[in-house]
């Protein structure tokens, strides 16, 4: 399983890129809004930090396929690494069909059922993004959806890659890896949580104390 970072914050992307663990970025309208700057400006900055797929979503107000197609083409022009993120609707699928026929990569977002993932893949999506955490939020088991999509894509040899989205904790990450997902897109905070362990910190401290007892006195 590979890692993308789920943020539009250039500083967090830089930090995650520096430790060599991520190979792509996902953004969404809420994450872009958090940066408080123009979409193209933020996305262009991100393309300079990381050399890998960068998902930029069509505007949150766009619901019509033709508008999504027009916007998608504009997003794709920003940089060759751009992936156009499209919401899982009938209009969204129409847009995915057209964009993928133009060799523009797409990421179908807001997927909450295996049927949605299957349809998105059949429409030509490069990536499908099932949302784990938001399912957990409503007292359903998010990881069960990931397992089901992995199973269906294997049985039917579907090439679309599964990005586990709405990942909120290291346990989510482990669950996605065990389920056989292609990618987990994780916030920087979760990457930090995955790195740290109290026994690692205690071990470092003990090594320091033992070493200094002999060599620094
Ligand atoms: C990524 O593609 C999604 O937009 C993101 O993971 C959503 O996460 P959230 O449910 O924590 O907002």
Single out the catalytic residue among 15, 48, 77, 85: 85
Residue 106 Cβ < 6 Å to ligand 1 = no
CATH class, 2-215 region: alpha beta
Mapped onto helix, strand or coil, the DSSP state of residue 141 is coil
Residue 165 Cβ < 6 Å to ligand 1 = yes
pLDDT of residue 62: 85
pLDDT of residue 216: 80
CA distances (Å), origin 209, targets 51, 137, 197, 215 = 41, 44, 19, 10
pLDDT of residue 52: 98
Q: Which of 129, 131, 146, 181 to mutate to test the pocket of ligand 1 (most atoms within 8 A of CB)?
A: 131
What's the gap in Å between 214 CA and the centre of ligand 1?
Answer: 50
How far apart CA 44 and CA 206 sit, in angstroms, is 45
85 catalytically annotated:
yes
Residue 131 Cβ < 6 Å to ligand 1 = yes
Give 205-216 pLDDT, tens digit per residue: 999 999 999 998
pLDDT of residue 217: 62
**Residue with the nearest Cα to atom 2 of ligand 1?**
165
What's the gap in Å between 216 CA and the centre of ligand 1?
Answer: 49
pLDDT tens per residue across all 217 residues of the chain: 999 999 999 999 999 999 999 999 999 999 999 999 999 999 999 999 999 999 999 998 989 999 999 999 999 999 999 999 999 999 999 999 999 999 999 999 999 999 999 999 999 999 999 999 999 999 999 999 999 999 999 999 999 999 999 999 999 999 999 999 999 999 999 999 999 999 999 999 999 999 999 998 6
What's the gap in Å between 196 CA and the centre of ligand 1?
Answer: 23
Residue 42 Cβ < 6 Å to ligand 1 = no
Residue 28 Cβ < 6 Å to ligand 1 = yes
Give 104-119 pLDDT, tens digit per residue: 999 999 999 999 999 9
HSE-CB for 41 with a 13 A CA cutoff: 6
Residue 94 Cβ < 6 Å to ligand 1 = no
CB 127 within 8 A of CB 108: yes
pTM listed for this prediction = 0.95
How far apart CA 68 and CA 178 sit, in angstroms, is 34
């Amino acid at each position: 399983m590979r890692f993308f970072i789920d943020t539009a914050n250039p500083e967090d992307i830089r930090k995650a890129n520096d430790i060599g663990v991520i190979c792509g970025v996902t953004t969404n309208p809420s994450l872009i809004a958090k940066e408080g700057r123009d979409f193209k400006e933020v996305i262009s900055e991100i393309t300079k930090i990381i050399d890998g797929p960068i998902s930029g979503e069509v505007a949150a107000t766009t619901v019509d396929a033709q508008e999504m197609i027009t916007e998608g083409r504009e997003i794709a022009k920003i940089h060759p690494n751009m992936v156009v993120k499209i919401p899982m609707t009938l209009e969204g699928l129409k847009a995915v069909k057209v964009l993928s026929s133009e060799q523009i990569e797409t990421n179908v977002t807001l997927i909450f059922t295996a049927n949605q993932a299957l349809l998105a893949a059949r429409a030509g999506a490069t990536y499908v993004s099932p949302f784990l955490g938001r399912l957990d939020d409503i007292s359903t088991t998010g990881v069960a959806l990931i397992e089901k999509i992995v199973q269906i894509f294997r049985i039917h040899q579907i090439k679309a890659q599964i990005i586990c989205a709405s990942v909120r904790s290291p346990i989510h990450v482990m669950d996605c890896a065990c389920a056989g997902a292609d990618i987990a897109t994780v916030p920087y905070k979760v990457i930090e949580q995955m790195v740290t362990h109290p026994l690692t910190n205690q071990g470092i401290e003990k090594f320091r104390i033992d070493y200094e007892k002999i060599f620094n006195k």
